[in-house]
């Protein structure tokens, strides 16, 4: 749970939201507080000025009772805590709290402190310095106090009553205090609101992100994981529904494409192996059967010659001879299939071969009302093939396609297209021949790597000797080591047959600096490898420099009945036929063998009711 992508994403988004919203809320709250307090200060200042100017005239007239009364009434308002006026020496002269009158206020009391803190009292005080926020007791709510110095004016000095001496600057201080309980309540309320908003926003955001991540990421990823498990379990036909257009949809599509290609490759490999062993089997069986068959045929035909005067025996013998000859034909077709002959290759134009095959099958297709559409690419290069065998391939494919369309269908179309493809050769090119400087073959059919004969070389190292079987697929490194060679100069690499050295004296491995060895692929240059077991360096200049490998691709598409999905893997098997008595079942197997002999590949795509497409790829360089 904690390691899940969705959870991590949700937490990450939650944390980011928490930090952002907290910072925002903090500053927002602080500025709110400040504004609120400033508003209260302004209000207090106004109030203090009002009190001052409201009592000024009474003071000039020295109407003390009136002043007492005014201050007392004003101070009784609930929004005002206390109003008092102190004289210069700190004695409270007027106060809304009558008990206080006549008391002396300590210089260090918070209403005096501002001016008297510096020893010599200040005479002028800035507005911001005149207010103060304090608590009367540590438990009580906050209080805002504002002091308003009463300065000596001309009218004061000349007043008849009790004239203040001219030298006096400050006559006294008006001190107004207001309770901040309501303001503090507002501030607390605001804070709680912000916290509630922040928490709910973060929760909502996390939930929404979590939902979207689950829907858009976790679910498709789960599907992909399930699919990889299926594929790992060997089910290469498993398909993920391709319903999405985003990156995961692309991934699903490319995943499906990959499994499709994998299943084709597996089929191809499987087929190759099976047909090769079947070929050997057929050849062996043919040889074994032909000997006893010779006995039957020779003796029966010999008897037939000698019993010309016995018509009743003749009839029976003729049956034996005829049926034995039929057996002979069956075995012969098996041998033709198994024939591991080297194709008689030469440069040929695939388009021309197709034209010829079309000419040969013209009548047969016309009889079935099948139209052959040729979309032959203009820029198709020549390929090195056995033109006759390839023609056989196309004739068989056309005839098969016409059969698949069938005479009942009242017509159909076969479309042949040719095109030119380029694919990278590294990792897909097999080293099929390898020889030492004395032309001994290094190919070893007993040790196979991925089903293909390996390249065997002898290694003498540190007094031991043994063989290394190199991966025949150039670019891959599934070598098998019968000996662990030391990466020293003393390691010898040689031909297992004649012990001719394969080491290259003048060069060393560009990756690790160890000694390198080389062998020849007849007609295709030298392959080099590193003697260091850990090093994967290898070079086949001819292939490396050839760039991408070129292929000619031929697609034969028909509008026939199609082949059921479960039958597709079997159609290249010998004797597999859907034509019943009509066909021998060797056609597609023979085609497969021919294409394999040309280092090419053949795959089939089909849909029941819609038709079948055979795709053949032949390398331009043999």
Residues that bind other proteins (CB under 8 A): 283, 286-299, 301-302, 304-306, 321, 324-325, 327-328, 332, 335-336, 339, 341, 344, 346, 386-388
Closer residue to other proteins (CB): 321 or 402: 321
Closer residue to other proteins (CB): 156 or 297: 297
Q: Quote the Cα angle for 197-200-202, to 5°.
A: 105
Strand partners, 91: 104
Torsion of CA 439, 444, 450, 451, to 10 degrees: 110
- Give the pair of three-digit tokens for residue 213: 């991540």
Closer residue to other proteins (CB): 324 or 444: 324
Closer residue to other proteins (CB): 343 or 377: 343
Closer residue to other proteins (CB): 391 or 444: 391
Question: Residue 145: which of 194, 96, 122, 179 has the closest Cα?
Answer: 179
Nearest distance, CB of residue 308 and other proteins, angstroms:
13
Nearest distance, CB of residue 430 and other proteins, angstroms:
24
Taken in order 135, 140, 144, 149, is the CA torsion positive or negative?
negative
Closer residue to other proteins (CB): 147 or 390: 390
Three-class DSSP category at 422: strand
DSSP 526: E
Helix 64-75 crosses helix 5-60 at what angle (to 10 degrees)?
Answer: 160
Nearest distance, CB of residue 306 and other proteins, angstroms:
7
Nearest distance, CB of residue 363 and other proteins, angstroms:
12
Nearest distance, CB of residue 364 and other proteins, angstroms:
15
Q: Which residues contact 231 (CB under 8 A, 6 or more apart)?
A: 238, 259, 262
Nearest distance, CB of residue 279 and other proteins, angstroms:
12
Nearest distance, CB of residue 295 and other proteins, angstroms:
4
Nearest distance, CB of residue 307 and other proteins, angstroms:
12
- Give the pair of three-digit tokens for residue 610: 């819609």
Nearest distance, CB of residue 342 and other proteins, angstroms:
9
Nearest distance, CB of residue 318 and other proteins, angstroms:
12
Three-class DSSP category at 537: coil
503 with 472: CB under 8 angstroms? no
Nearest distance, CB of residue 540 and other proteins, angstroms:
28
Token pair 């003393």 is at which residue? 490
DSSP 599: T
Closer residue to other proteins (CB): 339 or 369: 339
Closer residue to other proteins (CB): 30 or 322: 322
SS3 content of the chain, % helix, strand, coil (to 5): 45, 25, 30
Closer residue to other proteins (CB): 289 or 604: 289
- The region, left, alpha or beta by phi > 0 then psi within -120 to 50, assigned to residue 17 is alpha
How many Cβ atoms are within 10 Å of 523's Cβ, its own excluded? Answer: 8
- The region, left, alpha or beta by phi > 0 then psi within -120 to 50, assigned to residue 474 is beta
Closer residue to other proteins (CB): 301 or 578: 301
Question: Residue 558: which of 399, 363, 418, 419 has the closest Cα?
Answer: 399
Token pair 């790992």 is at which residue? 232
Taken in order 36, 41, 46, 47, is the CA torsion positive or negative?
positive
Rounded to an integer, what distance in angstroms lies between the CA atom of residue 437 and that of residue 526? 11
Closer residue to other proteins (CB): 33 or 301: 301
Phi, psi at residue 447, to the nearest 5°? Answer: -95, 115
Closer residue to other proteins (CB): 209 or 586: 586
Pairing of strands 515-520, 538-540: unpaired
Q: How many residues does the chain have?
A: 622
**Buried-state track 26-45, b at ≥16 Cβ within 10 A, e below 16:** eeebeeebeebbeebbeebb
Closer residue to other proteins (CB): 332 or 374: 332
Nearest distance, CB of residue 598 and other proteins, angstroms:
15
- Give the pair of three-digit tokens for residue 57: 């005239």
Rounded to an integer, what distance in angstroms lies between the CA atom of residue 84 and that of residue 94? 5
Nearest distance, CB of residue 372 and other proteins, angstroms:
20
């Amino acid at each position: 749970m904690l390691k899940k992508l969705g959870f991590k994403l949700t937490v990450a988004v939650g944390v980011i939201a928490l930090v952002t919203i907290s910072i925002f809320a903090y500053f927002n709250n602080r500025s709110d507080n400040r504004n609120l307090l400033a508003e209260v200060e302004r209000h207090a200042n106004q109030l203090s000025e009002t009190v001052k100017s409201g009592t000024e005239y009474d003071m000039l007239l020295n109407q003390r009772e009136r002043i007492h009364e005014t201050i007392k009434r004003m101070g009784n308002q609930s929004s005002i805590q206390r109003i008092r006026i102190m004289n210069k020496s700190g004695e409270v002269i007027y106060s809304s709290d009558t008990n206080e009158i006549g008391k002396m206020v300590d210089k260090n009391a918070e209403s005096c402190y501002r001016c008297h803190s510096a020893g010599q009292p200040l005479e002028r005080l800035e507005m911001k310095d005149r207010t103060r926020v304090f608590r009367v007791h540590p438990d009580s709510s906050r209080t805002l106090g504002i002091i308003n110095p009463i300065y000596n004016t001309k009218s004061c000095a000349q007043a008849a009553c009790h004239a203040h001496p001219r030298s006096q600057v400050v006559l006294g201080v008006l001190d107004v205090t207001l309770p901040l309980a309501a303001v503090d309540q507002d501030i607390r309320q605001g804070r709680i609101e912000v916290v509630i908003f922040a928490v709910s926003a973060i929760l909502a955001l996390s939930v929404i992100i979590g939902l979207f991540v689950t829907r858009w990421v976790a679910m498709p990823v789960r599907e992909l994981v399930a699919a990889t498990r299926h594929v790992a379990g060997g089910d290469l036909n498993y398909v993920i529904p391709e319903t999405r257009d985003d990156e995961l949809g692309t991934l699903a599509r490319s995943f499906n494409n990959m499994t499709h290609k994998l299943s084709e490759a597996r089929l191809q490999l499987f087929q190759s192996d099976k047909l090769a062993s079947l070929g050997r089997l057929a050849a062996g069986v043919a040889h074994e059967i032909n000997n006893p068959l010779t006995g039957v045929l020779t003796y029966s035909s010999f008897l037939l010659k000698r019993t010309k005067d016995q018509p009743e025996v003749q009839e029976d013998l003729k049956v034996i001879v005829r049926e034995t000859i039929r057996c002979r034909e069956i075995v012969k077709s098996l041998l033709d299939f198994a024939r591991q002959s080297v194709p008689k290759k030469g440069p040929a134009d695939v388009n021309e071969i197709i034209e010829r095959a079309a000419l040969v099958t013209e009548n047969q297709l016309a009889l079935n009302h099948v139209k052959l559409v040729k979309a032959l690419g203009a820029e198709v290069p020549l390929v090195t093939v056995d033109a006759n065998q390839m023609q056989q391939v196309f004739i068989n494919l056309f005839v098969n396609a016409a059969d698949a369309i069938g005479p009942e269908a009242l017509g159909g179309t076969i479309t042949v297209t040719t095109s030119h493809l380029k694919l990278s050769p590294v990792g897909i090119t097999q080293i099929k021949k390898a020889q030492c400087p004395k032309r001994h073959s290094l190919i070893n059919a007993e040790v196979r790597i991925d089903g293909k004969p390996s390249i065997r070389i002898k290694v003498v190292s540190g007094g031991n000797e043994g063989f290394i079987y190199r991966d025949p697929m150039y670019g891959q490194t599934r070598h098998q080591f019968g000996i662990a060679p030391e990466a020293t100069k003393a390691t010898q690499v040689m031909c297992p047959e004649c012990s001719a050295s394969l080491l290259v004296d003048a060069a060393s491995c560009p990756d690790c600096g160890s000694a390198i060895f080389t062998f020849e692929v007849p007609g295709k240059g030298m392959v080099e490898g590193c003697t260091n077991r850990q090093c994967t360096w290898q070079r086949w200049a001819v292939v490396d420099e050839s760039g991408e490998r070129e292929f000619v691709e031929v697609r034969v598409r028909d509008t026939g009945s199609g082949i059921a999905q479960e039958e597709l893997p079997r159609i290249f098997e010998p004797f597999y036929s859907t034509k019943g008595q009509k066909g021998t079942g060797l056609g597609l197997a023979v085609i497969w063998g021919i294409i394999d002999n040309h280092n090419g590949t053949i795959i089939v795509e089909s849909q029941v009711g819609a038709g079948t497409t055979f795709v053949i790829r032949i390398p331009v360089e043999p």
